[in-house]
Structure 1
Amino acid sequence: MRISLLQPVIDRPGPWASVYADIAHSTEDAAKQQELTASATTAQLFALGADEATCGAVHEALLLRHEGESGEHSGRVLFAAHGEVVLDTPLPGPPATPFAAWGPVPRVTPFLAAVGDDPVCLVVRLDRAGADFAVLGERGTEDAGQVSGADWPLHRTASGDWSEGHFRAKVENTWEHNAGEIADAVRKAFEECGAEAVVLIGDARERHLVHDKLPEPLRALTYESEHGGRAPGAESALVDRDIAQVRAVQEREHIAQVADRFRTGAGPGGKSAPHAAAGIPALVEAAREHRIDTLLVSPHGSDIARQLWVGSEADQLGVRGTELQYLGEPRPAAARADDALVRSAAASGADIVVVRDPERAPSGGLGALLRWTDADTADGAHH
């Protein structure tokens, strides 16, 4: 999961107001409902100890109408601190449980569970003359440039004398040449944008030509949509559905891969156990030492709501409050284990994966793949 969207929230000290709101739209009294939601949420935050400035900022944000929100209800999540709403972003649907929380770390875990793994996908709309690139991911759709091939000759003619045959051969060569140019540009764009999959959109012949010219590892991550074309708006609903299916497959495969590595304890580059950590004490230690490569979180684990102690810095966390004094934090505060570990892991650049399947999830709902272990360090010192 890409958590760059959450970076402003992760990097800033709290305390934090975290709000998961269900906003009514198309009902007759939608504005009134929105006002009631804003007032009730603000009152709840104030009762939990939030300062007036932060309550006011949340109240104002909840009253705003947002463009493009449709359906009867939509979900929004807000994170606010020190009188400022730092992040206000839509959820894929209404929150499972609307709530407001006030605490030393933001309640980001329900947000991660709602948005899922959100794999980044490179969408390539192509024809014989070139291709347009777009990157689909956590920030919606972003233009990623285009490539143009040779533009002459591109069209076959119908008659059959020698010169026409010669011309047709030239057309074939131009198509081949352009497919190679497009494939090379796809490879570069894929590497630059950090995508996990490619979707080719266009006529079958061009799609196949480009697909065949991609390097082998990239070909395995490239899918073809039978709908749409390079022209904007061509069968867009069907194309959107195809892209959504590709992203869903990528998400499932990524989660399964991470869960399997966790179960076998495999480390980076396939090194064997013990490159996995389980249990709160081991995870806290790994987080403090910035050793977490990927944090696994299950929304239903028994450990996720356990109490940890945290300081203002992301790597200041402990099982007991007294540990924080050794870490230079004179006023430790209590926080949920999932949120404390997510904040710490995200701050050190770790990936975070939400594992919904209880069969694959770590015992207790929290686990980690590690960048290295103490044993690795000892081996390094020994050599």
Structure 2
Amino acid sequence: MRLSLLKPVIDRPGPWASVYASVPHSSEDAAKQQELTASATTAQLFALGADEATCGAVHEALLTRREGDTGAHTGRVLFAAHGAIVLDTPLPGPPATPFAAWGPVPRVTPLLAAIGDDPVCLVVRLDRTGADFALLGERGTQEAGQVKGAEWPLHRTSSGDPSERHFQAKVENTWEQNAGEIADAVRAAFERSGAEAVVLIGEARDRHLVHDKLPEPLRALTYESTHGGRAPGAESALVDRDIAQVRAVQEREHVVQVTDRFRTGAGPGNKSAPHAAAGIPALVEAAREHRIDTLLVSPHGADIARQVWVGADADQLAVRGTELAYLGEEHPAVARADDALVRSAAATGADIVVVRDPERAPSGGLGALLRGTVETQSE
């Protein structure tokens, strides 16, 4: 999961107002419902101890429609601190349970659960003359360049004349050459962008030619859509569906890989030098030492809502409040374990994976793959 979205709230001290709202826009009484939501939310925040300036900022934001919001209902998440809205981002749909919270760290875990792994996909719209690249991921769709091949000769004739057959061979060579250049550009764009999958869109023969010329490792991550094309107006809902399916497959496979590694690393045979950690005390220690490589979070589990103690800095967290005095925090506060660990992991560049399948989730709902073993850390 790419966590650049969380950077504004990770790098800034609280306390934080966290708001998950379902805001109607298309109904006749949308404005009235917005006003009721804004008033109820800010009243709840004020009752929880939020300052007046932050409550006012939240109220004003909830009365304002976000640019680009569409649909009968729009899910929306706001994080505010010290009288300012720090992050205002849409959800894929209405939140499962709208709520407002006030605390020392932002309630980011429900946001991560809603957006999922969100793998970045390189979309390639191609024909025999070249291709246009786009990246689809956490920031929507972004143009990612293009490649142009030879434009002549590209069209075969139906004549059986020997000279025409020679011309047709040239056409075939042009197709092959252009496909090779497109494949090279796809490889370069894939490596440059950090994408996790490729979707080829275009005519069947054009797709197959490019697919066959990709390097083997990349070929295994490349899918073909049988809908749409490169020409303007060729897009369709079926193309969007194909891309969504590819991204869903990548997310599932990533979760399987991570949870398999966690199970192996947390096994009985690795107690002397664990590659994984589970349980609040072990996870808190690993977070303080910046040893979490990947944090696993399940929306369900006994540990996610357990209380830990936190300070102003992301690596100031402890099982007991007295421990934070040794970390330089004079005024420790209580926070949920999942949000405190997410804040700490994100601040140190760790990956975070949401595990929705209870059969694959760590016991208690929280776990971590570690950057180094105990033996490595002690050397």
Counterpart of 1:209 in structure 2 is 209
1:312-347 superposed Cα distances (whole Å, 9 cap, x missing partner): 100000000011000001110100000000000000
Displacement after TM superposition at 1:266 (Å): 7.8
Query: Is the contact made by 2:275 and 2:373 (CA closer than 8 Å) also made in structure 1?
Result: yes
Counterpart of 1:118 in structure 2 is 118
Counterpart of 1:97 in structure 2 is 97
**Matched residues in 2 for 1:56 and 1:43: separation?**
10
What amino acid maps onto 1:174 in structure 2? Answer: T
Counterpart of 1:78 in structure 2 is 78
Query: Is the contact made by 2:58 and 2:85 (CA closer than 8 Å) also made in structure 1?
Result: yes
Counterpart of 2:197 in structure 1 is 197
The percent identity for this pair of structures is 86
Counterpart of 1:127 in structure 2 is 127
Q: CA RMSD in A?
A: 1.3
**Matched residues in 2 for 1:70 and 1:301: separation?**
34
Counterpart of 1:3 in structure 2 is 3
What amino acid maps onto 1:285 in structure 2? Answer: E
3-state SS, counterpart of residue 28 of structure 1: coil
What amino acid maps onto 2:305 in structure 1? Answer: A
Displacement after TM superposition at 1:235 (Å): 4.0
Query: Is the contact made by 1:266 and 1:273 (CA closer than 8 Å) also made in structure 2?
Result: no
**Matched residues in 1 for 2:28 and 2:133: separation?**
41
**Matched residues in 2 for 1:232 and 1:366: separation?**
47
Unaligned runs of 5+ in 1: none
Whether 2:133 is the aligned partner of 1:138: answer no
Counterpart of 1:355 in structure 2 is 355
Displacement after TM superposition at 1:273 (Å): 5.9
What amino acid maps onto 1:293 in structure 2? Answer: D
**Matched residues in 2 for 1:205 and 1:36: separation?**
56
Counterpart of 1:253 in structure 2 is 253
3-state SS, counterpart of residue 209 of structure 2: helix
Whether 2:135 is the aligned partner of 1:174: answer no
Counterpart of 2:222 in structure 1 is 222
Counterpart of 2:27 in structure 1 is 27
**Matched residues in 1 for 2:334 and 2:66: separation?**
35
What amino acid maps onto 1:361 in structure 2? Answer: A
Displacement after TM superposition at 1:162 (Å): 1.5
**Matched residues in 1 for 2:301 and 2:50: separation?**
28
TM-score, normalised to structure 2, is 0.97
Whether 2:62 is the aligned partner of 1:62: answer yes
Query: Is the contact made by 2:203 and 2:229 (CA closer than 8 Å) also made in structure 1?
Result: yes
* Cα distance change, pair 289–241 in 1 and its aligned pair in 2 (3 A): same
What amino acid maps onto 2:306 in structure 1? Answer: R
Query: Is the contact made by 2:46 and 2:55 (CA closer than 8 Å) also made in structure 1?
Result: yes
Counterpart of 1:265 in structure 2 is 265
Displacement after TM superposition at 1:376 (Å): 1.6
3-state SS, counterpart of residue 308 of structure 2: strand
Counterpart of 2:152 in structure 1 is 152
**Matched residues in 2 for 1:102 and 1:18: separation?**
6
**Matched residues in 1 for 2:231 and 2:290: separation?**
47
1:143-182 superposed Cα distances (whole Å, 9 cap, x missing partner): 0010001111111112121111111111111111100100
Between Structure 1 and Structure 2, how many residues are aligned? 375
3-state SS, counterpart of residue 300 of structure 1: coil
Displacement after TM superposition at 1:232 (Å): 3.0
**Matched residues in 2 for 1:210 and 1:5: separation?**
34
What amino acid maps onto 1:172 in structure 2? Answer: E
Counterpart of 1:292 in structure 2 is 292
> After the TM superposition, which segments of 4 or more aligned residues of structure 1 sit over 4 Å from their partners?
none
**Matched residues in 2 for 1:316 and 1:85: separation?**
24
Deviates more, 1:333-342 or 1:257-266: 257-266
Displacement after TM superposition at 1:120 (Å): 0.4
1:14-46 superposed Cα distances (whole Å, 9 cap, x missing partner): 111000001012221110000010011111111
**Matched residues in 2 for 1:212 and 1:71: separation?**
40
Counterpart of 1:311 in structure 2 is 311
1:243-277 superposed Cα distances (whole Å, 9 cap, x missing partner): 0000000000000110111001189xxxx961000
**Matched residues in 1 for 2:156 and 2:79: separation?**
59
Displacement after TM superposition at 1:374 (Å): 2.0
Displacement after TM superposition at 1:233 (Å): 3.1
What amino acid maps onto 1:185 in structure 2? Answer: A
Query: Is the contact made by 2:187 and 2:214 (CA closer than 8 Å) also made in structure 1?
Result: yes
1:178-223 superposed Cα distances (whole Å, 9 cap, x missing partner): 0010000000100111100000000010100000000000000000
Query: Is the contact made by 1:57 and 1:83 (CA closer than 8 Å) also made in structure 2?
Result: yes
**Matched residues in 1 for 2:234 and 2:49: separation?**
53
Displacement after TM superposition at 1:309 (Å): 0.4
